[in-house]
């Protein structure tokens, strides 16, 4: 669903992810059609056209893999941030426990070591 006029530049920040994917797919189809037209006008035989179609298909698969890789990387980054936040909360809780529970320093150090081992 492209809401922009054909040929009009698109601001990717105005598009949803689905609209962006649709736009990428349309561009790829247009490129493939132009390549097929160029082959026909050059007079290549059907076998060469078939090979070119396979190559174009492989380019499409490559683009899909790049999109999937990008999406996966974004998810991994988000999960890493969540883990870091949890680790920070654990450290804060351990600091509060050490500050409020009277006892020997060795006991506190032991608790901190156990928390650090847990987070690794």
Q: In tens digits, what is the pLDDT along the chain, a chain of 120 residues?
A: 444 444 445 555 667 888 888 888 899 899 888 887 877 777 667 777 788 889 999 999 999 999 999 999 999 999 999 999 999 999 999 999 998 866 544 455 555 565 566 556
Q: Could you tell me what percentage of the chain is helix, strand and coil, using 3-state DSSP and rounding each to the nearest 5?
A: 80, 0, 20
> Looking at the 3D structure of the chain, how many domains does it have?
1
Residue 9, in any domain of the structure? no
Residue 86, in any domain of the structure? yes
- Return the structure tokens found at 75: 């998810």
Of 17, 37, 41, nearest to 29 by C-alpha is 37
Residue 92: the pLDDT is: 95
Per the structure, the complete domain to which residue 87 belongs is given by: 15-119
Residue 7, in any domain of the structure? no
- Distant-in-sequence, close-in-space partners of 53: CB < 8 Å, separation ≥ 6: 36
Residue 3, in any domain of the structure? no
């Amino acid at each position: 669903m492209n809401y922009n006029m054909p040929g009009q530049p698109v601001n990717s920040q105005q598009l949803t992810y689905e609209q962006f994917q649709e736009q990428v797919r349309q561009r790829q189809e247009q490129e493939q059609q132009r390549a097929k037209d160029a082959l026909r006008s050059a007079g290549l035989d059907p076998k060469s056209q078939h090979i070119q179609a396979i190559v174009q298909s492989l380019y499409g698969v490559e683009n899909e893999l790049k999109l999937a890789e990008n999406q996966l990387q974004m998810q991994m980054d988000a999960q890493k941030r969540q883990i870091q936040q949890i680790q920070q909360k654990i450290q804060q809780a351990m600091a509060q426990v050490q500050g409020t529970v009277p006892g020997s320093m060795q006991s506190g150090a032991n608790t901190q070591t156990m928390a650090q081992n847990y987070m690794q």
